[in-house]
A and B are shown apart, each in its own frame.
Chain A
Amino acid sequence: MNIFRKDKRKEIKNELPLEVSNNTSTSNKGSVKLRVFRVNAVQNPNDIPHFDEFQVPVKRWTTVLDALLDAKSYQDSSIGIRYSCRMASCGSCGMKINGIPRLACYTKISDLDTNTITCEPLPNFPYIRDLVTDFSQFFNHHRSVMPFMQNKKADIPNTNELTEYKQSPQDLDKFLQFSYCIKCGLCYSACPTVATDVKFPGPQALSQAYRYFADSRDSDKSNRLKIIDTNHGIWRCHFAGSCSNVCPKGVDPALGIQLLRSHLLGISKSEKKIAQLQDRSTNTYREEDGEEQIEKEDLKE
């Protein structure tokens, strides 16, 4: 099943004519000034945070992570960065780039359209060193919502009798978007409530709570709602929406939070709107009603 999600980043890029992006001052000069936040809070608690500047060569395809690694390789090997996959899959290289939380590996310098790139550690996270932050609290919140399947009917102890737990594509689509979360912490760092309330689980944990709540295979829904229905739980969300704005994977945590709230209020049992499928032959979107019946029959078989 193909789900066509809108990628704002791609849309903006496609709107720009190629000539404009070629003629930016960045590509003309061939280098940018990289301002990197420096602090070593672990070794020296009295260390005063400051910015170091590096002139880094760039190409059209150079990402901020590439530029940082260039500076680390050829100018200052002591720059602290956390990274791994370089393809927006691991969520390690989250940092504040020019004031906005982004993944360094997913942010092209040519897209930023400026000669000065400022890299800072993610807000709402304690510093460890330079651009590396402590994710302990973030993962504690993630754990607190029990991000795993719970089903009393599942015959896990007797592995010989394990059977396939079938799920219709419609049921899958209710939570699939939320399962794309890579735990990069960008939404958590952009959340204004997290900035003031450390007990607030944050958009990541709450969207994961919805991901398992909406899963048709999970049977512990009431307990999931109890966990987030506290003084510092889901109701402290101000719905600023900044979490959804910065999410690099299109998870839209704010939507998950609102859907969970509607379930908690008991007024509505609304679910995420099922994605429409694109008919490739006619290049138009069509409703799933007709298909739903066929797929249900297939499952029965």
Chain B
Amino acid sequence: MTSDNIKNSKNKKTTKWISNITLLRESQIMKIHYITGVAALFVVAIHILMRLIMPFNMSLEFENVILNYKNVFYALLLESILVLIAIHGFNGLRVILLEIRQTQIWERGVNILVIIAMIGIIAYGTRTIIIANGLSLG
């Protein structure tokens, strides 16, 4: 086996690994996209309606916002909004970016970056919710 062949086989292995990152078929991804979109509509509606339980300007005062976070159900609602919108939004971004260029490197790069960014945003948002809720991680 020549050095070129070895390099090619190594490249093939890495490309296989990268392509296996997207385990889902496009229809399954789009199904998730639609479901998260509709679900986000409901939870965001509840989130906005929660502002109406007291005068609007009061509901956005620091103490009241922190009090909201202390409520476990409200914290779970915020977490679900975060997860649903992150999944829906980043997949939407992926769809737009895929149309810009059609090279394999670009497609894989976009897929990996979008997944990393989505996980990062969800992790950071979850951390904020946990801290505001008063739960200590350590």
Contacts and interface: CB of A to CB of B under 8 A. Distances in A.
Interface of A: 193, 196-199, 225-226, 229-233, 235-236, 264-266
A197 B99 contact: yes
A233 B26 contact: yes
B20 interface: no
Given A197-B98, A197-B99, 16 more contacts: A196-B99, A197-B102, A198-B102, A229-B25, A229-B27, A230-B26, A231-B26, A231-B98, A232-B98, A233-B26, A235-B26, A236-B98, A265-B30, A265-B31, A265-B34, A266-B31
The 10 closest A-B pairs by CB, nearest first: A264-B27, A197-B99, A199-B102, A229-B27, A235-B30, A196-B99, A235-B26, A229-B26, A229-B25, A230-B26
B6 to A, nearest CB: 30
Contacts of A199: 102
Majority SS of interface residues in chain B?
Answer: helix
B107 interface: yes
Contacts, number: 33
Contact count band on B: 10 to 19
B34 to A, nearest CB: 8
A235 B31 CA distance: 11
A71 B36 CA distance: 58
Contacts of A196: 99-100
A196 B100 CA distance: 7
Interface of B: 25-27, 30-31, 34, 95, 98-100, 102, 107
B69 to A, nearest CB: 36
Nearest to B34: A265
Nearest to B33: A235
B136 to A, nearest CB: 43
A231 B30 contact: no
Contacts of B25: 226, 229
Nearest to B29: A235
Contacts of A231: 26, 98, 107
A206 to B, nearest CB: 13
A116 B96 CA distance: 38
A264 B100 CA distance: 25
A235 B27 contact: yes
18 contacts: A197-B102, A198-B102, A226-B25, A229-B25, A229-B26, A229-B27, A230-B26, A231-B26, A231-B107, A232-B98, A232-B102, A233-B26, A235-B26, A235-B95, A236-B95, A236-B98, A265-B30, A265-B34
A232 B97 CA distance: 11
- Output the residue of B25, B27, B34, B100 with the most chain A CB within 10 A: B27
A233 B26 CA distance: 8
Given A231-B107, A265-B31, A193 B99 contact: yes
Q: Which of A196, A225, A231 has the most CB of B within 10 A?
A: A231
A153 B13 CA distance: 38
Contacts of A232: 98, 102
B27 A236 contact: no
A295 B71 CA distance: 65
Contacts of B99: 193, 196-197, 236
A265 B95 CA distance: 17
A238 to B, nearest CB: 9
A266 B102 CA distance: 28
Nearest to B100: A196
Contacts of B27: 225, 229, 235, 264-265
B94 to A, nearest CB: 9
B106 to A, nearest CB: 11
B125 to A, nearest CB: 27
Contacts of A265: 27, 30-31, 34
A196 B95 CA distance: 12
Nearest to B30: A235
A235 B26 CA distance: 7
